[in-house]
Structure 1
Amino acid sequence: MPGMTFTPMPAPSSMPTLTAIRRSLEQLDRVILGKPGQVRLALACILARGHLLIEDQPGVGKTTLAGALARTLGLDFGRVQFTADLLPADLLGVSIWDSETRSFHFHAGPVFTSVLLADEINRATPKTQGALLEAMEERQVSEGGVSRPLPDPFFVIATQNPAAFVGTSPLPEAQLDRFLLTVTLGYPDARAERELLETGGRGQSVRDLPAVMDAATLLAAQAEAEQVHASGPLLDYLQLLAAATRHHPDLDAGLSPRALLALLAVSRAWAYLQGRAMVLPEDVQAVFPALAGHRLTPAGPRPVRDIILDILRDTPLP
């Protein structure tokens, strides 16, 4: 992303999780060419226990990024193509009557996986989109009066086509707020696109990626990221950013307290990716556009991204 700088990960140390994180980034960069910022935002999102929304037109690598993350992290992966006729039961599962045992048996839906790719989520009806709300927020599914926990870890990676595309239904605000970050891949740069042309798109396949981590290592990394220190002045800076969104004349509403907690969590995860034990303002600035962009609604014609950049520029550093 423009203006981002990346601090190299530290040399392998006695912390095996950091070594695994570094290897994961290296592997993802070989598959998702020319998008180091988006790759790191996606991994920071997972480290902060959040869900990721990838917005862009078809054919730029959204599904590839989701699959590569799951394979690299060694997690079970499920993909659901969202369409206008997809029903909530198709996603969550359903209880079916067994005449032999004279009882209902629950048949789990594809949501019961560690990484769920909700492909083209805005092509489904609002009712089906809303079926993901409980799963994303509570990490469980309620059906027939019974709550069934989802695997741990559990992440939703959703892709979304531009709103102008035929057959799309915009996600409601409550659904958007369940996504920790939103990233846009965009077109590859000239060098990455040339590599795609020279290889015919037959570079390292997602199916061939080895697992660099596993669920236990990822859970350990998440716990370590939560321990990254955020100082008092840093928390002041977060509050100033939130206040700037709430009082900005070009915004209808600002960031909520829940969004502010999410900003702290993903800032810690970003600092952890840089190999640091303390959050710096530059960590907050790196993740702020991806966290705030889908939560803020402009009151006028100005693009929300321009407003966010103004807020980052004008908010005093601690």
Structure 2
Amino acid sequence: MKEQEITRYLHSRYGMMLMMAAAVIGTIIAYRNGDIVYITGNNGFGLPSANEWITDRYASLWAGIAVNVLLALLLSYMNRRFNVLRTMSHLFVGMFMIMQGGLPSIMGQFYDGTVMCAILLFAIIPLFSTFQNPDLTRRIFLTFFLISIGSLTSYAYAIYIVAFLVGCLQMRSFTMRGLMAATIGIVTPYWILWGFGIISPSNFTLPEFVSLFNALEGRELAQIIVYTGVTLFLGFGFDTLNLMRIYRYNARTRAYNGFWLVVSLITAVLIFVDYNNLIIYLPILNCCSALQIGHFFRFNNQLRSYIPILCIIGAYTALYIWSISI
């Protein structure tokens, strides 16, 4: 196979499907070997955390895989709908799945991290559609309504409200009516559930923290820390390389990519501040990093660009092998 054909294949839909299949198969193997580290604890304010919704581990495995496939589809849809990367390459979607599969524990179970990532992606779609359309207050309401629902199950959602408020400014849709729509969107889920008696003031307790450092053994913890470090390095490394090129885009595309940068920064800060629960933030971090990888190889689609792509895949393959050998 010629080098140009290899590069083209990695960017194609078939390359994405191959990477997705590899991640799914690897996760199933890890599950059968007993290498999935299960998340415990309840981080919700009024409703149980997502990791408590499905108690059967086999069902949790397939639910987790299904949510990850949904995340890949949402990323692909978002790029087609808003042209965030200004390319129809599917490489970044495949890279996201490879990154998820590199740590089977975040792909092989249904838990807060992947659910939060899905809800945030669903919330980003109406937000992006409001660019220079401040009258679309219903979509602003929907964005914050989704995040607010999530905040009932995990406190981590609440922090991202800041990112989406900044996003409204970047979309040039932040007016007094927009602020009111956002406020009502945040309040409405609590109001509805309280009105139906599903939650009450007595439900609002402090999250039950289970420290990652206490829950994991030394080698498992080291693997997660190294995995996180590699993803942070790739994400912000490629972001730095892409920055000047993205700046040359039109205002709409700059706004979209600027929002993703804000999400990346907030996620990185949360990983260091809320380090006991860093595993919750890994799926959204992987989304941000995969987008930056996709940007870079959109700019640098030379004959042998497949070599660094395969090196990144090799790095996550090595992390996967490490995780199943612990």
TM-score class, shorter-chain normalisation, is: 0.3 to 0.5
Which of the pair is proportionally richer in helix? 2
Q: Give the TM-score of the pair, scaled to structure 2.
A: 0.33
TM-score (norm 1): 0.34
Highest RCO, 1 vs 2 (Cα 8 Å, sep ≥ 6): 2
- Of Structure 1 and Structure 2, which has the larger fraction of its residues in strand? 1
